[in-house]
A and B are shown apart, each in its own frame.
Chain A
Amino acid sequence: MTDQAYNFAYLDEATKRMLRRALLKAVAIPGYQVPFSSREMPMPYGWGTGGVQVTAACLVPEDTLKVIDQGADDTTNAVSIRSFFEKVAGVATTEATAEASVIQTRHRIPETPLHAGQILVFQVPIPEPLRFLEPRETETRVMHALEDYGLMQVRLYEDIARHGEIARAYAYPVKVEGRYVMDPSPIPKFDNPKLNMSPALQLFGAGRECRIYALPPFTRVESLDFEDYPFTPSKAAGQDCAICGASGSYLDEVITDDAGGRMFVCSDTDYCATRVQEASA
């Protein structure tokens, strides 16, 4: 069988229609997890099958696709997913955040602010923010339906009681439009504020768990906290990017030698490269 044997963007049209229905429902009820009939994809569960299905359902031939993992365009899984869509959809690809119409991401939101008309597709491993408080799906669905979120707050209370602060660095839970508690996927909490009132459409796909959820443009997204322990989108203090000198971006720590030497560089490779280019121009 050759690649031409597959439909545009791999999935057959009936499957895409099913996905789009789920996406529409998700957009209509921001933060609500819509069950969908996830397909087996040619990459393993947990490697972005949900995001890939959502992207496949959104793509049209005119789209320009950007794929990042850990903020970077050239991490292996990002490369793999981008080449998958180049092969099965033939769409243009880019590394420039501003030029992309669809961006599939794992674990980051780009530093460059998104604009209206863009779609950001998140890969989600565990869509249920209550999962580790209550393992049962039947029970967590009832908890969401009844807005029974006391237990979630207890978890944060326990963090402060034990550690003096909310000890969650990523996948930091948010409340959407004052209603549903949502897992923003394992983005660092540094990225949480970017979810709020974003002009872009944000879609979340969890393939193995068969759930899709969404944040329509300009949706209110608040990170859970206490009045006297407000949410802070922190990152390593006092470090700038060693490559581009950016002070306000999220940084990866890179170990440079076996003597404990380290440096900090932007996790968003496009943002970093663009800044370097601009500086040398």
Chain B
Amino acid sequence: MYVAVKGGARAIANAHAWLDAARRGDRDVPELGTDQIREQLALAVDRVMAEGSLYDPDLAALALKQARGDTIEAVFLIRAYRTTLPRFGVTLPVQTDKMDLSRRISATYKDAPGGQVLGPTFDYTHRLLDFGLAAGREVPPARQADTALDPAPHILSHLGGEGLMQAEPEGAGAVPDLTRDPLEFPAERALRLQALARGDEGFLLSLAYSTQRGYGRNHAFVGELRIGTVRVSAQLPELGFDIEFAEIVLTECESVNQFQGSKTEPAQFTRGYGLVFGQSERKAISMALVDRALRAEEMGEDVSGAPAQDAEFVLSHCDNIQSSGFLEHIKLPHYVDFQAELELVRKMRRAAGADAVPDAAE
């Protein structure tokens, strides 16, 4: 008797054993340690932390190893783990102006207090494959400055003093929490930023790029991009004082965008904002551009129907765990629906007299 779908449980077990073996690869090659991933594939680890929205380099490294280097799969592992964690409380806002900087650049000022700091960047490297790395060339330690950089004020704060930069209103009430409340529209900016911060880098990059090419253009400059370490602290009611409990690396981007002014407000500059776990400036800049594009309506700008200006479109589609899950679910069996369609199409073909044409399969 032919039965197509038997043996599901055994098939799954065998497939997963195969996966384990494939992950390990050639056993003559030394196995990769998660510490190696954390230290040497740090930007992949950062991306997994950012989109997994969980700051833990060791877990992210483990997820990358388990996922065989598939970033979105690793993000998924982190998200599924994160959702089970108890929530102890909410931290105080991190002070990015107090950041220990490893990189800080501005495209709008040649120099500003704190200076331009290139940091460990790919910029200005020639993208030539370094065969020395394949050959195991020793990398000499980089020269270090004698003193650490002083924290530098945000570049855009210099514009704010002149009234040239629109002030950000103080948020009213608690910051919404995307992971504890369903996303509902219209979504205020704090919620939008939260969604973008964990959104897929590729998706945000494409959207940001589309604004540059005229689909919701808003004339962005990188006012400031900074990467560095900030301290995380929380208020513990039992103790009655703030306690600092972690240091995390963040990338922050503030874009400066033109604003023509309206009937009630004079012309001034406005800001798009990006903040991402770890070192990920492509994501931070993209996020800032998309954030600003999503403010088009609030600014009374011409909303042209560009995807990047459409909060429902952007927020409903930026999460790569949602999108990859739903996309890949079409791999699941759809026998029943397909059978129903099959019968419908046959019936309609019969009604149209098309059954006179011999069916190729028969």
Contact = CB atoms under 8 A, between A and B. Distances in A.
- Physical contact A–B (CB less than 8 Å): yes
Interface of A: 6, 10, 12, 35-42, 44-47, 49, 69-72, 74-80, 83, 106-108, 125, 135-138, 163-165, 167-171, 186-190, 208, 210-211, 234-236, 243, 250-254, 256, 260, 263, 265, 267, 269
A235 B341 contact: no
**Main secondary structure on B side of the interface with A:** helix
B339 A251 contact: yes
Contacts of B305: none
Contact of B332 (A77, A171, A236): A77
A12 B328 contact: no
A253 B345 CA distance: 14
Nearest 6 pairs of A and B residues by beta carbon: A45-B325, A46-B329, A44-B325, A169-B340, A210-B182, A46-B326
Contact of A170 (B1, B184, B327, B336): B336
B328 A44 contact: yes
Contact of A41 (B83, B181, B343): B83
Contacts of B184: 35, 137
Interface in B38-56: none
Nearest to A7: B84
A137 B76 CA distance: 26
A253 B339 contact: yes
Contacts, number: 159
A138 B324 CA distance: 24
Contacts of A250: 336, 339
A254 B334 CA distance: 13
B194 to A, nearest CB: 13
A190 B182 contact: no
A45 B12 contact: no
A188 B337 CA distance: 6
B341 A169 contact: yes
Interface stretch (B3-11, B121-129, B199-207): B3-11
B325 A47 contact: yes
Contacts of B336: 70-71, 107-108, 170, 186-188, 250, 252, 267
Interface string B316-352: 1000011011111110111111011111100110010
Interface string B68-106: 000000001001101110100000000000000000000
